[in-house]
Amino acid sequence: MTAPEVYRGRRRFLKLGAATGCALAAGGVGWVAHRRYGLPGAATLPNVPADVLARFPGERAARFDARPLTSRDAAASHNNFFEMSEDKDDVAERARGFVHRPWTIEIAGECHAPRTFDVWELVRRFGLEERVYRHRCVEAWAMAVPWNGFPLASLLSLAGPTSHARYVRFVSFHAPEQAPNQRSASFPWPYHEGLRIDEAMHELAFVAVGVYGEVLPVQHGAPIRLVVPWKYGYKSAKSIARIELVRERPRTFWSTVVPSEYDFESNVDPLVPHPRWSQATERMLGTGELRPTQLMNGYVEEVAALYRSGSVSERRRGGRG
């Protein structure tokens, strides 16, 4: 387990590196770093209860590791969060004013115990673990970061899906007064995504409330987001307000906006190009290193059983489905 002190120490170091001697003398170091990196110090959620903070970062799960780790700042300054901005390098700055409290998450639909939870109550109930996952955006950038959270299956099991629940729908927040780009009518807000129920119940499907050992900064999807590491990043909805267990395959945000480019399943596959670019390689945030894309983002052994009947090779022959 990497102690949060290590990250914090690193951040302090970076603040120094980012500041000029002048800013140092003026005591403006923190401000400079926050402006430059959009670090959580500038944009975390207020009022996180002390007993919840004390649970961070949680045990590092050794079997969920991925190297090399992307720098915390690189991950926190290049984000997809269309509610905030369409410019990935501007998301952190635009997200700074975002305040949502208290944040509840509703579990509804085909389940025996529909309920609305306080986010921090979920942390008390399930505890936290830390998993380093690879993340692959459909735009061909990638990273590997430690997420702090709990398995999605824990949350869904608590709600008790009925036998009619075949899919799970995730709905992000809707607050145009706080999220500048939600005022744009070009998108079907709020952001919404979906998984098959067996995908959602898979142990790799993870709910994150933190990254790098601390409460999620807004730009990563505070206070609670999904992490589905074998699928393209857009499946991992941020700032989730509602989870619905449903009978029919739900529509999804990007497949509604551009149906020809984004399908429901969206498993990472180097051999299936995006209509406008190849998916054969990926560029690591921070270092810019180019690496070969891995089938299912490197998680094929873990998740292959989910796709046995409609096999991967079959889908490749049939193209996008």
255 contacts Mo ion (rule: CB under 5 A): no
Provide the token pair at 191. Answer: 């952001």
Among 57, 149, 229, 233, binds ligand MTE (CB under 6 A): 233
First to last CA, the chain: 40
Among 236, 252, 267, 293, binds ligand MTE (CB under 6 A): 236
Q: Which residues, 6 or more positions from 140, have their beta carbon under 8 angstroms from its beta carbon?
A: 277, 278, 279, 281, 282, 283, 293
Nearer to ligand MTE, 23 or 99 (CB): 99
Radius of gyration of the chain (CA): 19
What are the helix (H) ranges across 119-240? 119-126, 152-159, 197-201
234 contacts ligand MTE (rule: CB under 6 A): yes
Nearer to ligand MTE, 151 or 221 (CB): 221
| Site for ligand MTE, residues 99 to 138, rule: CB under 6 A | 135, 137
CA dist list (Å): 6 to 106, 146, 175, 190, 222? 35, 13, 35, 36, 22
Q: Which of 287, 232, 295, 292 is nearest to 78 (CA)?
A: 287
Q: How far is C-alpha 213 from the chain's CA centre? A: 15
| Site for Mo ion, residues 117 to 146, rule: CB under 5 A | 137
Number of residues forming the site for ligand MTE (CB under 6 A): 17
Nearer to ligand MTE, 29 or 140 (CB): 140
Q: Which residues, 6 or more positions from 284, have their beta carbon under 8 angstroms from its beta carbon?
A: 68, 70, 141, 142, 143, 290, 291
297 contacts ligand MTE (rule: CB under 6 A): no
Binding at 266: pick from ligand MTE, Mo ion, none (beta carbon under 5-8 Å per type): none
Binding at 82: pick from Mo ion, ligand MTE, none (beta carbon under 5-8 Å per type): ligand MTE
* Residues 57, 105, 51, 155, Cα dihedral to 10°: -60
Nearer to ligand MTE, 237 or 243 (CB): 237
195 contacts Mo ion (rule: CB under 5 A): no
Determine the interface stretch with ligand MTE among 6-14, 53-61, 101-109, 229-237 (rule: CB under 6 A): 229-237
Binding at 42: pick from ligand MTE, Mo ion, none (beta carbon under 5-8 Å per type): none
Q: Using CB positions, name the residue nearest to ligand MTE.
A: 233
User: Using an 8 Å Cβ cutoff, are 315 and 288 in contact?
Assistant: no
228 contacts Mo ion (rule: CB under 5 A): no
Residues that bind ligand MTE (CB under 6 A): 79-83, 135, 137, 172, 191, 220-221, 233-234, 236-239
